[in-house]
Amino acid sequence: MEKDNVNQIKTIRTDYSKFELTKSHVDENPLTQFEIWLGEAIQSNPNTANCMTLATVSVDEMPTTRIVLLRDLSFNGLTFFTNYESRKAKEINHNPKACVNFFWPELERQVRVEGILQFLPQQESDEYFNSRPFESKVGAWVSKQSKAIENRNELDSKYHELLQFYSGKHVPRPANWGGYVLIPTLFEFWQGRPNRLHDRIQYVKEASINKWKIERISP
Ligand SMILES: Cc1cc2nc3c(=O)[nH]c(=O)nc-3n(C[C@H](O)[C@H](O)[C@H](O)COP(=O)(O)O)c2cc1C
Which residue minimizes the CA distance to atom 11 of ligand 1?
82
| Residue 33 alpha carbon to ligand 1 centre in Å | 26
What mean pLDDT is predicted for residues 77-92?
A: 98
| Cα–Cα distance measured from residue 141 to residue 138, given in angstroms and rounded to the nearest whole number | 5
Looking at residue 210, what DSSP letter applies?
T
Judged against a pLDDT cut of 80, whether residue 27 lies above it is answered with: yes
Q: Tell me the CA distances in angstroms from 156 to 98, 145, 168, 186, 205, one per residue in order.
A: 33, 14, 20, 42, 46
Identity of the residue numbered 27: D
pLDDT score, position 157: 97
| Residue 73 alpha carbon to ligand 1 centre in Å | 19
pLDDT score, position 2: 83
Index of the ligand 1 atom closest to the CA of residue 91:
27
What mean pLDDT is predicted for residues 9-30?
A: 95
pLDDT score, position 3: 86
| Cα–Cα distance measured from residue 25 to residue 5, given in angstroms and rounded to the nearest whole number | 40
Index of the ligand 1 atom closest to the CA of residue 65:
26
What mean pLDDT is predicted for residues 10-14?
A: 92
Sign of CA pseudo-dihedral 166, 72, 106, 8: negative
Which residue minimizes the CA distance to atom 10 of ligand 1?
82
Q: Find out whether the beta carbon of 87 lies less than 6 Å from any atom of ligand 1.
A: yes
pLDDT score, position 207: 87
Judged against a pLDDT cut of 80, whether residue 105 lies above it is answered with: yes
Q: Find out whether the beta carbon of 66 lies less than 6 Å from any atom of ligand 1.
A: yes
Q: Find out whether the beta carbon of 37 lies less than 6 Å from any atom of ligand 1.
A: no
The closest of 84, 88, 80, 137 to 113, measured between CA atoms, is 80
pLDDT score, position 174: 98
Looking at residue 174, what DSSP letter applies?
P
Termini Cα distance of the chain: 35
pLDDT digits (tens, 9 = 90+) for 130-189: 999 999 999 999 999 999 999 999 999 999 999 999 999 999 999 999 999 999 999 999
What mean pLDDT is predicted for residues 4-26?
A: 94
Whether 196 is catalytic:
yes
pLDDT confidence bin for 67, thresholds 50/70/90: very high
pLDDT digits (tens, 9 = 90+) for 176-185: 999 999 999 9
Catalytic residue among 66, 112, 152, 196: 196
